[in-house]
Structure 1
Amino acid sequence: MRTSLNNDGESTLLARLEQIEDGGFAEAEARFDGTPESVILHRDGAAVRAWLNVCPHAGRRLDWAPGKFLKSKDGLLVCAVHGASFELQRGQCVAGPCRGDCLRAVPVEVHDGAVVLAGQAPAT
């Protein structure tokens, strides 16, 4: 799933909560200062966390194919390129070449099942 959102006051749906498997990931596209960026969405029940889809080790995308992310048996997000593993609370790298670094968080909110950037109401 790839949708877009602008941070210039115009809101577009990133995802519907029910489109993200509980405990799973989805990808969306958001525009920051006019530049499109890939964003990882992770659902944990009714909450969603988000990060830029960029590994701090080498600046590469974490997905192995667009919108397809690896999750370890321990529940960590795994970079498909170098195997760095990230915990899902703060996006901190706990194993691999960038241990101690963090993914860049993207603040999101859920409003009536719509996932949007924090501070923006869903478009109606």
Structure 2
Amino acid sequence: MQLLCALTDIPDGGSKGVLPGPRGRDQGLLVRRGDTVFGYVNNCPHYDRAPLGWKKDEFLNGTKDRIMCAAHGALFQIEDGVCVIGPCLGQALTPLLITVEDGQVFGERA
């Protein structure tokens, strides 16, 4: 597993992009709920693997209770990445394996 960031780098109730690729686009995203962090690959399962965020570190809808695809508005549950609204209904984001130890967030592809 590799170090992704400090837990405090993710606002509680917010999101953060991680794993920058060769062109600078974040390959993963994290969502924090208290001391729990959920992580996913930053690709929508519907539209040609489009990135989800609408700007740097912004992956959530306005009420911050779902992950949202900026390309077409699909909404995904934070806890398991399953699409609950949108053209990819029932499909899911690819999870990252995440652990939080001593205030540090570690992860890798599942």
Tell me the TM-score normalised to structure 1 length.
Answer: 0.76
User: Where do 5+ consecutive residues of structure 1 fail to align?
Assistant: 1-6, 119-124
* Alignment: residue pair count: 104
Deviation digits for residues 38-66 of structure 1, max 9, x if unmatched?
A: 11101111111100000000110001123
Higher strand share: 2
User: Where do 5+ consecutive residues of structure 2 fail to align?
Assistant: none
Q: Segments of 4+ in structure 1 off by > 4 A?
A: none
Change (3 A) 1:24 1:37: closer
3-state SS in 2 of match to 1:70: coil
Percent of residue pairs identical: 36
- Picking from 75, 96, 102, the partner of 1:106 is 96
Q: Aligned-pair RMSD on alpha carbons?
A: 2.0
Higher gyration radius (CA)? 1
| Matched residue, 2:16 | 26
Change (3 A) 1:71 1:47: same
Change (3 A) 1:63 1:102: same
| Matched residue, 2:30 | 41
